[in-house]
Amino acid sequence: MATIVVTGGSSGVGLAAAKQFAARGDEVVLVGRDPRRLADAVAQVDPVAHFRADFESLDEVRALASELLAGFPRIDVLANNAGGMVDDFRRTADEFEATFQGNHLAPFLLTNLLRERLRGARVVNTASRAHMRGRPDPGRPEGDPAAYNRWQAYGAGKSANILFAAEAARRWPDVFSVSFHPGVVRTNFGAGRTVRLFYKYAPFLVTPEKAGELLVWLATAPEAELVNGGYYVGHTLTTPAAWARDPELAGRLWEASAEAVNK
């Protein structure tokens, strides 16, 4: 029986994966932002524990890490699945652009705070093919309101997920780290009415259950079947955009992120 922490676990891919982990007999720890959705998810999954945390607050991420460290002597899988897009430029109370903080800085901080509990464990980062739309700038985590584009910001955050997994594999050989594109999933994802309607009703979208199966596979497949630091589209190891496979950028992003979150 494995202990599996799923962030963004109150809806979409995270909830679907959490239900599948629970059906396997694993101990699931659910993390969500919205109290109502989290309560609904708890009723469906029956996790061993659940926590509310808003990743636009690094203090809430630190509090979450403290709860996990206090409650679980071992974490076998950390599914960094929380993330999303904001419509217009916004800085968080931590003074970072909200999309970049929610998608990268917050899971980066959480993973680092849980580092010692993750020895011999696995970290699965939900990235996206949308990473091709944006490159992260390690020197500007606060963002530039004059140049803001929601898809570029989201793409930069997803590129950061891929870079983080690859750099973690280099720095932490005792932690197995991967990232993946879950497909274009039918969820409540998006910012703005048009984008949300697309992700709810477009006919060709992947179901959350199918995307959840991919997350579960990456979390449980034998390491010999996977590549540490790899980026997966479906069950296929895939080469991401040039900047998302740049080890120099990955290193700079790691150092800048550590400085930003005071880790």
Residue in 13, 127, 125, 12 with CA at minimum distance from that of residue 77: 125
Token representation of residue 12: 């979409």
How large is the greatest C-alpha to C-alpha distance in the chain, in angstroms? 50
Active site residue 154: yes
Catalytic residue among 148, 154, 201, 232: 154
Token representation of residue 91: 């800085």
Q: In whole angstroms, what is the distance from residue 10 CA to residue 12 CA?
A: 7
The CA–CA distances, whole Å, from 8 to 29, 41, 188, 193 equal: 11, 11, 12, 21
Backbone dihedral region for residue 234 (phi beyond 0: left; psi -120 to 50: alpha; all else: beta): left
Strand partners, 3: 27
Token representation of residue 78: 């950390």
Q: In whole angstroms, what is the distance from residue 95 CA to residue 4 CA?
A: 31
Q: What angle do CA 140, 102, 144 make, to 5 degrees?
A: 30
Question: 157 CB contacts (<8 Å, ≥6 apart)?
Answer: 83, 99, 100, 102, 103, 104, 134, 136
Residues catalogued as catalytic:
154
